[in-house]
Amino acid sequence: MKVVFMGTPDFAVPVLERLIKEHEVVCVYTRAPKSAGRGHDVKITPVHSLANQYGIKVRTPQTFRDETIQKEFKALNADVAVVAAYGLILPKAVLKVFPYGCLNVHASLLPRWRGAAPIQRAIEAGDDVSGVTIMEVAEALDAGRMYEKVIMPITHETTGGILHDRLSVLGADLMSEVLKNINNIEPQEQDESQVTYAQKLEKDEEKIDFRMSAFDLERKIRAFNPFPGMYFEYQGIRFKVLKAQVTDQNDIAGKILEGKKALKIACGEKSLEILEMQRQGKRMMHTEEMLRGFEFEKGYCFC
């Protein structure tokens, strides 16, 4: 097949790699380079970098509303467009220009978790499973007909990073299968009564609120590991929390119950023992290691 690929971050890279091996990728669309770091060096996206390695033509439009951009897209005369975490809205004018339209790799079991952050929200909500859905891109957000799904269990050890990496590979595999069998697949409508939305991750969610249940906080810490991360501040220092476990003690929410040999903090329900953390400007450590050179005051309260 002649394929146009549209994607931006690391999640999309395995999908593009698989397409390059199995099809003719005639063009890659990705987000425009951005300046990054102290030197404001221009940084291209992971998808852009991979396309450059294979000498594939890359386009980085700011919008698809422009008629010239739409004509250039149509002129590629591809069989299908494959989308994976692209980040731009595709208008109706481009969705049906190729024979097989635009197919999207979505990191959830639709119709559950339409939207921007399905990986994190699934873990945060305590879902037992996540997965990937191959769907057609429609005008409404993640509302297109579904071609295939694959299920991935979520365990008590699953972090946002782990799930992200596994789903990106599963998505590549599933898209490969769908394209091979596309003429034999009857896409299914989504059940609108089962729709949930994975809201965008907000900056103010990153600071730990110990008034929450320890069970909810533990899941959120896993969901936000490694990105965007959860933190608390103590003595003017920021501590990023990467792993925690629920313990049975109850006390005033935010009170440090133990801070010398272990770090345990009371929550709205039960308490959390912090197992892995990163002190501002330092490397990630097991809390036991950190506490050899740093102590938290027992009885101190974050509330």
Domain ranges of the chain: 2-198, 204-290
* pLDDT for the residue numbered 136: 98
Angle at 242 between CA 238 and CA 248, to 5 degrees: 100
Please name every residue paired with 258 in a beta bridge, in sequence order, or none if there are none: 264
Mean per-residue pLDDT for 52-66?
96
Is the pLDDT at 41 greater than 80, yes or no?
no
Query: What tokens were used for 239?
Result: 């501590």
Residue 244 contacts residue 225 (beta carbons within 8 Å): no
CA 264 distance to own-chain centroid: 29
Is the pLDDT at 70 greater than 80, yes or no?
yes
Q: Quickly name the fold that domain 2-198 has.
A: Rossmann fold (3.40.50)
Is the pLDDT at 40 greater than 90, yes or no?
no
pLDDT tens readout for residues 257-303: 999 999 999 999 999 999 999 999 999 999 999 999 999 999 999 98
- What span, in angstroms and rounded, lies between the C-alpha atoms of 133 and 142? 10
pLDDT tens readout for residues 166-189: 999 999 999 999 999 999 999 999
pLDDT tens readout for residues 104-159: 999 999 999 999 999 999 999 999 999 999 999 999 999 999 999 999 999 999 99
Is the pLDDT at 197 greater than 80, yes or no?
yes
Q: Would you give the end-to-end CA distance of the chain in angstroms?
A: 59
| Burial annotation 44-81 (CB, 10 A radius, 16+ → b, else e) | bbbbbebbeeeebebbebeebeeeebbeebeebebbbb
- What span, in angstroms and rounded, lies between the C-alpha atoms of 48 and 61? 13
* pLDDT for the residue numbered 279: 96
pLDDT band at 61 (very low <50, low <70, confident <90, very high): very high
* pLDDT for the residue numbered 147: 98
Is the pLDDT at 227 greater than 70, yes or no?
yes
Same fold, 2-198 and 204-290: no
Q: Which CATH number fits domain 204-290: 3.90.380.10, 3.10.20.90, 3.10.25.10, 3.30.70.141?
A: 3.10.25.10
Residue 135 contacts residue 144 (beta carbons within 8 Å): yes
- What span, in angstroms and rounded, lies between the C-alpha atoms of 223 and 119? 8
pLDDT band at 34 (very low <50, low <70, confident <90, very high): confident
* pLDDT for the residue numbered 38: 64
Residue 233's SS3 state is strand
